[in-house]
Amino acid sequence: MNLQHVLSYVRKAVDDYHMIEEGDKIAIGISGGKDSLTLLYALHGLKRFYPKHFEIHAVTVDLGWDNLNLDRIIELCKELNVEYTIVKTDIAQIVFEERKEENPCSLCAKMRKGALNQAIKEVGCNKIAYAHHKDDVVETMLMSLIFEGRFHTFSPVTYLDRTQLTVIRPLMYMNEADVIGFVNKYNVPVVKSPCPADGHTKREYVKNLLRQINRDNPGVKERMFTAIQNGNMKGWSEYIGCNEAK
């Protein structure tokens, strides 16, 4: 998938759900993975021609792993002329060594978001872009059904009262396969996660389950996504522009 196709998906999501307003300063949470780096390229490209002027600022929360090397991402941000902030933390030590959490993902995510939100406020951003794509939307819905017994997933735009930040998800119309295709085509400098829990989570279980269901019933993922759009969940009907995505 080329950059123009990525930009078309992102432009549609931004327009359908009114994600960007004039003068926004948008932080992009950079984990180093394929999704967040695709989002960095996408918003950098969109910024050049979008009618509403906005700024972007890349932010990475360094959890404290000794083997995390961000040099290639630093170089990429320099090439794109994007400001880049790295937040140093001891989250990995706290979660895995001090607390020895059996299910570390929840605490880690909570602490990481806290550090990220604080850094975003300090650099003067009013919004943060997360790199959740269509597969993430559907997988989160399935996780909710299976483990919580409710029909729920995150919304395209979310206002956080406590931090007064707005979360946007511009990749929500892209499939994970589209992201992989883009990363491979442009040799995007992906940094592998050093987390020992990576690939051994409930989300990974649901990801594999969805892959099998979609293999047995082609198109089921798209139908699930349509069900989410039409399901009257908070945030999925309020922001939609002229019902274009329905």
Domain boundaries, position 194: 3-229
29-46 pLDDT tens trace: 998 999 999 999 999 999
Please check the confidence at residue 202 and state whether its pLDDT lies above 90: no
pLDDT-based confidence at 198, cuts 50/70/90? low
Q: Mean pLDDT across the chain, nearest whole number?
A: 90
pLDDT at position 245: 40
Q: Of 185 and 162, which is predicted with more confidence?
A: 185
Please check the confidence at residue 115 and state whether its pLDDT lies above 70: yes
Report yes or no on 19 lying in a domain: yes
Report yes or no on 177 lying in a domain: yes
Mean pLDDT to the nearest integer, 156-176: 94
Domain count, the chain: 1
Looking at the chain, the whole-number percentage of residues with pLDDT higher than 90 is 68
Residue 140 CA from chain centroid, whole number: 12
Report yes or no on 244 lying in a domain: no
Report yes or no on 242 lying in a domain: no
| The residue type at 41 | Y
Contacts of residue 93, defined as CB under 8 A and 6 or more positions apart, other chains included, come to 64
Report yes or no on 147 lying in a domain: yes
Nearest to 25 by CA among 58, 74, 60, 50: 58
Beta-strand (E) ranges in the chain? 25-29, 55-62, 83-88, 127-129, 157-160, 165-168
Buried b (16+ CB within 10 A) or exposed e, 161-177: eebebbbbbbbbbbbbe
CATH number of the domain residue 104 falls in: 3.40.50.620
pLDDT-based confidence at 103, cuts 50/70/90? confident
| pTM, 2 dp | 0.90
